Every structure is written in structure tokens, then in C-alpha cells.
Amino acid sequence: VICHPKYQGSKRIAIFLSMPDEIQTEEIIKDIFKQGKECFIPRYKPHSNQMDMLKLSSAEDISSLTLTPWNILQPHDDDNAREEALAGGGLDLIFMPGLGFDKKGNRLGRGKGYYDTYLERCMKRPSGKPYTIALAFREQICESVPVAENDVQVDEVLYEDC
């Protein structure tokens, strides 16, 4: 991941804080800060399909985050001091999680459409849609995954031996 040209050329990167059954992102987050890039993480809004990408100040900042009912660390709902990526300079790259992927860039998420809705918001901004890379285990690559008309394809899926 850290040798990928899109990662190397990006300054503002959004990345998920991994759950136990996902590709672990901690070392990527540390490298984002080591390379002097800006790091943004999701804050999911309960009872909706809306999320924002909020800026982390450091890899250690993760320890100040709140655990949601879904067992995901994120900034607290009333944490308004953090920069929201779209209110600032947008994003260059988004690393995305998922349950399953196909080689056409279709992604099966967890069903709420958070990333699809967020990417739609990005597309309405002057900076446009950031490059998207899904991080997957080889076992998550399928012949095809079900898609709906509002699903946004990822630009690339990275997995072992790809």
C-alpha cells in the first residue's frame, strides 16, 4: 500500500479504522503521519446513511476516540473541533473497507451505503471524486457482488497477490 503511486502522490487521505475482521490499517495510518500527509477517518451518523471524514492530529489521537455501538472507534458526536475533509481541501485518496469485492470494482459494504453517499457528496464538489482503493483479503474477492444503482464502484481493489 505505502509503495502505491496513488498513495505516494496523495496529501489528504481518508482511511477506515479497522475492525478485527478487516485488513488492519494501523501501520498505514502511522505511515501517513510519518510521511507528513493529512489523515481523515470516518464518523458515522447514527440512524442515517451519512458520514463525514474528520481529521486526526496524530496516530496517537486514535486513543481519544469513542467506541460506537458497532465497535468502531470514531470522533465523538459533539467533537466539532476537527476539520471535515470536504469543508477543507477535499481528499486525494480514500481507502475503503468492505465485505466482498469483484474485479470490476463493485463493492459489497455493510448495507447502510455510507461510502456511496459520501462519494456522491464528493462528486458534487469542485475537487470531484477522490481516487478510491478497497483493501481486501484474497478470500473477499468474488466473481461478482450484488450492486444497486446508487452503488459507486471503487477505482482499485488491493489484496494479497493482486
Binding residues for ATP: 107-115
Binding site listing: 17, 22, 107-115
In angstroms, how far is the first alpha carbon of the chain from the final one? Answer: 12
Binding residues for substrate are 17, 22
Q: Look up residue 137 and give its three cell numbers.
A: 483479503
Give dist(CA 12, CA 37) in Å, integer: 6
Reported residue count of the chain is 162
